[in-house]
Amino acid sequence: MKQSELDSILKKARLPEVPEESRELFPRRIVARLKHNEVQSPHARSFLPRLTWAFGLAAGVVIAFAIGHWSGRMETKNLTASDSLADLKLIRETMAMFPNRVRAIVQDERGLNLVLSDNTDVPASSPIYVRICDGKQCSSLVTFSGQEIQIAGQKLTVLSQPDGGIILEGNQFVWSSSEPVYAARKLNIEAKNLGLKTM
């Protein structure tokens, strides 16, 4: 399917009809909520007592921590099930799309993200797959030897050895694929050379 054909299909797709009554009521509902002061006027300043804010903030932190802790466990499962970085074609095509600019393709709790260099200064080499789990969640990435990358709260440099082995150098640990048992802070690390030819 060509891109133009796909776009044409996408644009042909129509939305479910919104009932006329709903369309008419919609602005009235907004106005009603504005008039009931549910929303501050654009120029209004907040005079809520600081204590309320402080209490709200504290409650928010506790709830966010609880949700974050819980969702972290969920994300681990999801990432395992749908690790897009296993798709070598995607990696190859991304590298072709941004030649010598791809520093990493990262998959973490925020989804799939591309880290590009501003310049075409990433040396051509075989991509390296790295996956780090810290007990709560897992992050994975595809990067290249010599790149310094932030992953799972760790800043680390990824290095490829001539024999195909991988070394990860973090702030407080060094990990090697030949001796993978020495991961710091109970990190579970996997790394492998994907053996793709770069363009």
Q: At its nearest, how many Å lie between other proteins and the CB of residue 75?
A: 9
Instruction: Work out whether the CA dihedral 134, 170, 115, 189 comes out positive or negative.
Output: negative
Nearer to other proteins, 10 or 48 (CB): 10
Point out which residues bind other proteins (CB under 8 A): 1, 3-18, 22-23, 26-31, 33-35, 38-43, 67, 70-71, 74, 78, 90, 93-94, 97-98, 101, 111-114, 116
Q: Whole-number minimum distance, CB 198 to other proteins, in Å? A: 17
**CA distance to 51, 63, 65, 68, 160, per residue, from 56 (Å):** 8, 10, 14, 17, 48
**Residue whose CB is less far from other proteins, 26 or 53:** 26
Smallest gap, in angstroms, from Cβ of residue 111 to other proteins?
5
CB 89 within 8 A of CB 75: no
Task: Return the number of the residue (117 or 125) whose C-beta is nearest other proteins.
Answer: 117
Closest CA to 189 of 121, 146, 128, 144: 128
Minimum distance of other proteins from residue 165's CB (angstroms): 30
Q: Radius of gyration (Cα) for the chain, nearest Å?
A: 24
Phi, psi dihedrals of residue 156, rounded to the nearest 5°: -140, 155
Nearer to other proteins among residue 10 and residue 181 (C-beta): 10
